[in-house]
């Protein structure tokens, strides 16, 4: 076998292992969903598992583990999106409390 064939078969094994891990994490989310815990605990656990799943998918299936520049781009972009989401959450209270200046 040539080196390209060896690399290709090793990459397929790695992809299958990562896929199995993501599948197991999805099963863990199913188990967490049916536990009798408070909403805040469930939120933290589900969010933690989802972050791990997303990191695995980004690093291995999008080849971010091999491309340092793309990894930095996604890191900065994700931080920007999370900060932008924090800015918009204050307006969500308007849905439950109404517009404060309209009273």
What pLDDT score was predicted for residue 103?
55
Cα separation, 69 vs 80, in Å, equals: 17
Cβ atoms of residues 49 and 29 within 8 Å: yes
CA distances from residue 53 to 6, 70, 76, 95 in whole angstroms, order as listed = 27, 18, 19, 32
Cβ atoms of residues 60 and 22 within 8 Å: no
CA distances from residue 71 to 43, 49, 85 in whole angstroms, order as listed = 27, 20, 21
**Chain mean pLDDT for the chain:** 79
pLDDT at 6 over 90: no
What residues does each domain of the chain span? 1-66, 67-103
32-71 pLDDT, tens digit per residue, is 999 999 988 999 999 999 989 988 888 887 777 777 888 7
Least confident of 12-16, 84-88, 92-96: 92-96
Cβ atoms of residues 55 and 13 within 8 Å: no
Q: What are the structure tokens assigned to 41, written together?
A: 């605990």
What pLDDT score was predicted for residue 58?
80
């Amino acid at each position: 076998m040539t080196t390209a064939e060896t690399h290709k078969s090793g990459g397929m094994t790695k992809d299958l292992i990562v896929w199995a891990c993501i599948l197991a994490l999805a099963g863990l989310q199913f188990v967490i969903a049916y536990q009798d815990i408070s909403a805040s605990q469930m939120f933290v656990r589900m969010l933690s598992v989802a972050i791990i799943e997303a990191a695995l998918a980004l690093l291995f299936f999008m080849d971010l583990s091999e491309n340092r520049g793309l990894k930095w781009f996604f890191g900065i972009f994700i931080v920007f999106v999370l900060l932008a989401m924090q800015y918009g959450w204050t307006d969500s209270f308007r849905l439950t409390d109404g517009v404060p200046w309209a009273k």
